[in-house]
Amino acid sequence: MKTKPPLTVDGAPRAFFGRRSGKTLHARQQLLFDNLLPDLSIDLPEGGALDPDSLFPSGTGPLILEIGYGGGEHLARQAEENPDSRFIGCEVFTGGIGKLLEKIAGNDLGNIRLYADDALKLLQTLPDAVLDGVYLLYPDPWPKLRHHKRRFVSPTTLAELARVIKPGGFFRFASDIEDYANWTLAHILRHPDFDWVAGAPESWHVPYPGWQPTRYEQKARREGRLKSFYFSFTRHGPTP
């Protein structure tokens, strides 16, 4: 498989995220950045496909990707509750990476690997039908109309997700922004490779089984956004 160029706008690489850093890392986080992160970081190959098995030499369980894991609460909990599964987390914000590194070190989580750049670049180097599932939880909604092109959900990214998720695998999207939820659902319903079962009215406001609110969800509640949308889509086709 040839590596595809990053999605571009007017010839320049498009980023689906804003800032990369905020407050200075505290001493423990900086220590983990220097000593733990290099062992967990994913380096993309110069050409060809990334071999996920090379990232987890001692594991062959389900492979799950979380795009934009924020402070890492969900990703760390999933890794702890599912020790036989393998997890890849994508996040560019240094504060979030530092928080997750603390959770990995504190709970001795050996089944997580990290990619600290645009998730689309990672998707474009993954082999076909390699992921068992993908989470996109509370992504930046880019609310201004002129910024909608920076929303992660797009025909291009959905095409990549459809390619790398196994038939029968899942794509889960959560947001407290109704406009972005509608945007995502509209894109999914137009895509031939994903299925969505609507369920009973308002069922999309019911969290996933075993869900625990992330700090972004808690912030949304404090700011008066009392409902979130929890969509589960299935990659079309039989489970291999």
Residues with catalytic annotation? 140
Alpha helices (H) along the chain: 27-35, 37-40, 73-81, 94-107, 119-125, 155-164, 178-190, 215-222
For residue 35, give Cα distances in angstroms to 28, 41, 80, 101, 217.
10, 11, 21, 10, 31
Local structure of 100: helix, strand or coil: helix
Closest residue by Cα to residue 90 from 15, 185, 12: 15
Encoded tokens for 154: 């797009």
Cα–Cα distance between 133 and 161 in angstroms, integer?
A: 9
Give the CA angle between residues 139, 233, 202 to the nearest 5°. Answer: 80
Encoded tokens for 142: 């880019």
Determine which helix (DSSP H) or strand (DSSP E) holds 89, and give its type and residue range: strand 86-90
Strand 229-235 relative to strand 194-195, pairing: antiparallel
For residue 50, give Cα distances in angstroms to 93, 132, 142, 164.
23, 16, 30, 12
Strand 63-67 relative to strand 86-90, pairing: parallel
